[in-house]
Chains A and B, each alone.
Chain A
Amino acid sequence: MQPDPVIADAPDPPVRSSRRNKAIAIVALVAIVAYVVTRPSTASSFEPKGNPVALPEAGKLTQLSADDFEGVLVGLRGTPVIVNIWASWCAPCRTETPLLERTWRAHSGEVVIIGVASKDVSARSLAFMDEFGVTFPNVFDSSGQIRARLGLRGFPTTYVFGADGKLRTTIVGGLTEQRLAAVLLDLRA
């Protein structure tokens, strides 16, 4: 093994300064971890109620009231449901829509995916669906009541309902493949 031709060690920094920097860094690390761990939860306590309503046709954008939307979720009890609230202007939605479509095609027998286009113009929502070749059911939340009832805090947000119809997880912000796959694994367990 041949060493590098020039490896000249620089003198170490003063010990006192090094210890102080370490102490500051450790305090900063503890503060960061404490803040992240104790930040408020984004979980919503929404629980669907009402009479069952049929699932809207896949690949279409169906306008629904908040009550009918809850009815759809009630009608799907017995099957896990992933509700994704999106808009055509939302940047992370562009990344996660192909992921949701891939999931729908790979797991359509095990889980139902429902997109909710909200705070948007229906023509733009339809163009968005066409662009990404969306084939899972989508509803159009023209009044904003669906997102209000779900307690939406930002676009996109994904709500995961278990087979018992209860809300299990709320994911605020863009989905990653690993996160979505972990959610599916959790639902199937």
Chain B
Amino acid sequence: MIDVGLLASMAIVLIVPAVFVRPWPPSAVATGLIDVSSGPLLIGIAVGRLAAVAIDDPGSLTSLGDLLIIRSGVEFWPGLAAGLAWIALRAHHDDVAPVQRLAAITAPALVAWAAYEATCLLRDGCSGPLSSLGLRPAGLVERMFPISLVVAAAAVGAAAVVRRWHRRGMPSVQVVALALAALATIRSVASIWLPHIGNGLTRQHRSSITVAVITATAFVVLRLRARRPATSVGS
């Protein structure tokens, strides 16, 4: 069964950043954003799906049919790590510094994620806490505050901040750490209000908090190191 909403979401994820956000610096992505991002998107989904099946139902790892049902769950962070690794490898192959290309696509990537979150409208509808101000997800009676739309707005804001700092000369490695920290923090905060079964934190929520702590710490350490005055020889 073809999931039209999910397919449409994927198309929009590729189209929106490629058309509306240019990588910075452009020299790091000279061949076009769709060329650079479609490979990592596919690799990321494949690895994310493999990770989800390995965790939830390892017996199905040998079943291609089970693996292809991506709607049943994709682990976000392993998928993202695989996509980033693929981008870095391709950059190395193209004689571009991997970290420079990663930094160049941080803003488009955050916008792509924002586009995915906003396309909740095309999938099941956008869920969240019950609210008279919200939208009515497909098939439901009550209105819910659309957390995914807020996440999309936050991701666009984060993209603007990251892009601005990058253009002002922030080193690429800091740009990547900042973007990851922003992404993980937004996901961690949003997960508080997303509906889930039971009382504990979901696996996605726990992993987002972990990544947020690690990447925010990395960003702060990188900033402090960059600000430390260089000691001259012989002084």
Contact = CB atoms under 8 A, between A and B. Distances in A.
Interface of A: 1-4, 6-10, 12, 21-22, 25-26, 28-29, 32-33, 35-37, 39, 43, 91-92, 94-96, 98-99, 102-103, 106-107, 154, 160, 162, 168-174, 176-186, 189
Contacts of A92: 69, 71-72
19 contacts: A1-B171, A3-B170, A4-B172, A8-B25, A10-B27, A22-B20, A25-B15, A25-B18, A26-B19, A29-B16, A33-B8, A94-B72, A95-B73, A96-B72, A106-B197, A170-B139, A177-B197, A178-B196, A182-B127
Interface SS of chain A: helix
Nearest to B191: A178
A189 B130 contact: yes
B201 interface: no
A186 B125 CA distance: 13
A169 B172 contact: no
A58 to B, nearest CB: 18
Contact of A169 (B71, B140, B144, B226): B140
A148 to B, nearest CB: 18
B16 A91 contact: no
A177 B196 contact: yes
B63 interface: yes
B122 A29 contact: no
Q: Which A-B residue pairs are the 9 nearest by beta carbons?
A: A3-B169, A181-B195, A169-B139, A95-B72, A182-B127, A25-B19, A186-B140, A91-B66, A7-B25
A28 B11 CA distance: 9
A32 B8 contact: yes
A174 B144 contact: no
A32 B11 contact: yes
Nearest to A131: B59
A36 B118 CA distance: 14
A98 to B, nearest CB: 7
B69 to A, nearest CB: 5
B63 A91 contact: yes
B10 to A, nearest CB: 10
A102 to B, nearest CB: 5
B178 to A, nearest CB: 12
Contacts of A184: 195, 197
